[in-house]
A and B are shown apart, each in its own frame.
Chain A
Amino acid sequence: ETGVTQTPRHLVMGMTNKKSLKCEQHLGHNAMYWYKQSAKKPLELMFVYSLEERVENNSVPSRFSPECPNSSHLFLHLHTLQPEDSALYLCASSQTLVQPQHFGDGTRLSIL
């Protein structure tokens, strides 16, 4: 139990669907992150939020849209995804940007 909960754990969707991934932390952390991990590839940082403001966006396609309504919740809205977007999507949080991150166990996303 890391204190970071991601739902759903598994998601299968078609390319025309719209879905959202949810991340929740009650650790009192001020920074939250989305990562993508494809098979046999390193984790790729997608988005960083600090105090609910986006501070990093690593050239992620617009079909991925993050939302951070408060410091405890982070969403990743998905729309018109491609087969290459199939991956493990990991959420993490930390007290500050320099403190160690606590990761959830991810959402395994499969695009048909």
Chain B
Amino acid sequence: LAKTTQPISMDSYEGQEVNITCSHNNIATNDYITWYQQFPSQGPRFIIQGYKTKVTNEVASLFIPADRKSSTLSLPRVSLSDTAVYYCLVGDGQSNAGNMLTFGGGTRLMVKP
């Protein structure tokens, strides 16, 4: 079971770039890395998913080193509305469906004015 470790909380200021790193030392060959964002009293929202190297979409980038034992979610120029909890999940959804769906404690990001 690929366990993930993230910082409990982070603080930032508006306009800054925020990088949140997730450790997953026992990631398996077929595992994907997926990040979600959750606001209070709402369900998590998908941000980005990757397997290796770098993935970029309109809201974030995901950096994955060659050994895939960690990954970094990068949020460019954060705003107050990016204050939320960010979750990193690792799994392949096949060999163990629950593996892909295990949310840890996440990282609580606070963006200040």
User: A residues within 8 Å of B by Cβ?
Assistant: 2, 4, 33, 35, 42-43, 45, 48, 50, 55-56, 58, 88, 90-92, 96-106, 108
Contact = CB atoms under 8 A, between A and B. Distances in A.
B97 A43 contact: no
Contacts, number: 62
A104 B45 CA distance: 9
A54 to B, nearest CB: 10
Contacts of B92: 98
Interface in B90-109: 91-94, 97-98, 100-106
Nearest to A88: B41
B15 to A, nearest CB: 28
Contacts of A42: 103-106
B44 A45 contact: no
Main secondary structure of the interface of B (DSSP, over half): loop
Interface of B: 32, 34, 36, 41-46, 49, 87, 91-94, 97-98, 100-106
Contact of A48 (B36, B101, B106): B101
Contacts of A105: 41-43
21 contacts: A42-B103, A42-B104, A42-B106, A43-B87, A48-B97, A48-B98, A48-B101, A55-B97, A90-B43, A92-B43, A96-B93, A97-B93, A97-B97, A98-B91, A98-B93, A98-B100, A100-B34, A101-B36, A101-B44, A103-B43, A106-B41
